[in-house]
Every structure is written in C-alpha cells, then in structure tokens.
Amino acid sequence: MLVVDDDSDVTSAICLVLEACGHRAEAVHRADEVITAVQRFTPQAVLLDIGLPDRSGYEVAAELQALEDRNRLRVIALSGSEEGHSQKRLFDLWLLKPVSSRDLLQSLVAHQQSWDEASDPRR
C-alpha cells in the first residue's frame, strides 16, 4: 500500500501498522510523487491525504483515475473532515482522520472482498 501524507509521523505510523499486518507499505509526502510511486511500486491501494500542500488529494485521485490499471488500484481518502465528500466518486473508501489503527484495518478488511470481486476479470 502507498501512504500519501505530508505529515511524516502519520505516514510512519500507518506504514508500521500495515507492515505489522503483513502488507507491504511505502510512503510519499508530496502529490507530485504519487504517480511515479504507483508505477514503480504497483500498490494494491493508495491511502491519500486530501489536504496535501502542493496539490489537493482530489487532483491526485483524478490523475489516478486515468491510469490504465485503475480497476486493480484502490484509492482511499484520508481526510480531516466530511467536507468534499461529494467527490466520493474519485475514491473507493473515505476515512476520517485521525483514524485509529483498528478502524483502518477493519475498513480495509471489510472492503477487501468486494474490491477483489470488482477487479476480477472473470466477473
């Protein structure tokens, strides 16, 4: 999973939790690093902060929508508010910060099966 947040404490904490649960996790801190990281790392999901300083998470999510393998990539919003929730179509899941480790992992597990089914070309 790719964790995108300008706060390195946030990315470190989330990466530690994900790795402790067996996920491969990497972090970037700027919007302009996301597409390159996705192409290099090919994560299953991108946990994307909405309030990035260089560009909004909405803009980054729109760029991710244009990727060829978007069907296999899950984009999860990390936001400090419900504001902007109208842009939900850009995201597979919307989580409010601060999100606890338990809530993050429960959300990922709860949505995993439906995501797997949606990206299965045999369906």
Each residue's pLDDT tens digit, 56-72:
999 999 999 988 777 78
41-53 pLDDT tens trace: 889 999 999 999 9
Yes or no: say if 56 and 85 are a contact pair by the CB < 8 Å rule: no
Note the pLDDT of residue 47. Answer: 97
Report which residue type is found at 60: V
Q: Is the bond preceding residue 43 a cis peptide, omega within 30 degrees?
A: no
Note the pLDDT of residue 30. Answer: 96
Whether the predicted model's global pTM rises above the 0.85 cut: yes
On average, the pLDDT of the chain sits at: 87
C-alpha to C-alpha distances, 83 to 10, 80, 103, 105, nearest whole angstrom: 21, 9, 20, 23
| 10: CB partners within 8 A, 6+ apart | 3, 49, 97
Domain limits, the chain: 2-116
Report the first-to-last Cα separation within the chain, whole angstroms. Answer: 24
- Second-level CATH architecture of 2-116: 3-Layer(aba) Sandwich (3.40)
> For residue 70, what is the DSSP state?
G
In this prediction, the residues of the chain whose per-residue pLDDT falls under 70 are 84-87, 113-123
Yes or no: say if 79 and 50 are a contact pair by the CB < 8 Å rule: yes
